[in-house]
Amino acid sequence: MDLTRSGEMPSFRTLAAGAWSCDSASRPAPAGRGADPASVDAPSTRPGAFSHVVTTFLVTHRWVSITVFGVIVLLGLLAGRWLAGRRRLSWTLFGLTLLPVVLLTLAPSSREVFERCAVGWALPSPGRVEVLANVSLLIPPVLLAAVASRRLAIVLVAAVVGSAAIEVLQALAPGLGRSCDTNDWLANSIGAVIGVVLAWAAMAGSRRQAPELEPAVD
């Protein structure tokens, strides 16, 4: 999914190159060389300025994305056990967790698209912030859907196919200002697998705990 390409999480080399080009473009021209006083030291008003700040923070503080991923996994396992017998609540929470997926992947972006689809295969690692973000994005909805439906294989297939459909839509609808990326689909698929595994572990733990909570029969 095109999670952050409106404010993409680039590598350190890309950030350095972008910072140099922005710095060079924003330097005031020396006196007598056509400097525009109105443009000197003018603050950036580009729509993606804030997202670039967030992107820089996440890249320079890699522990943030790793911590968020760990928290999602831990809380997902605990919440899954608690929700194992609460299917209606699980479906409600599933609907809520779909909202950020839609907003971060299908909401129109003002950026200019230079390529329809990028092909690459990168596995998650602490240095690949965007990949970790895409992995974490699909864990909650897949976990909740699996706990609510108890059909792990169907939920996994639906998540993988749904992620691919979003990538295709991003490629076929340039008006969204987004482009597809096979890395996004791979990361989403890995997140779906993690969500299903967490749901399986949560339901297994809930089944083991249930007999212990039943009162003894004389």
Whole-number Cα distances in Å, 157 to 22, 47, 78, 90, 98: 43, 36, 24, 19, 16
Query: Among 93, 85, 192, which Cα is nearest to 139's?
Result: 192
Give CA 72 to chain center in angstroms. Answer: 12
> What beta strand segments (E) does the chain contain?
117-118, 180-181
* Res. 198: pLDDT tops 50: yes
Can you give the residue ranges of every domain in the chain?
5-213
What is the per-residue pLDDT for 165?
94
Q: pLDDT of 26-84, one tens digit each?
A: 444 444 444 444 444 444 444 333 444 555 666 777 777 788 889 999 999 899 989 98
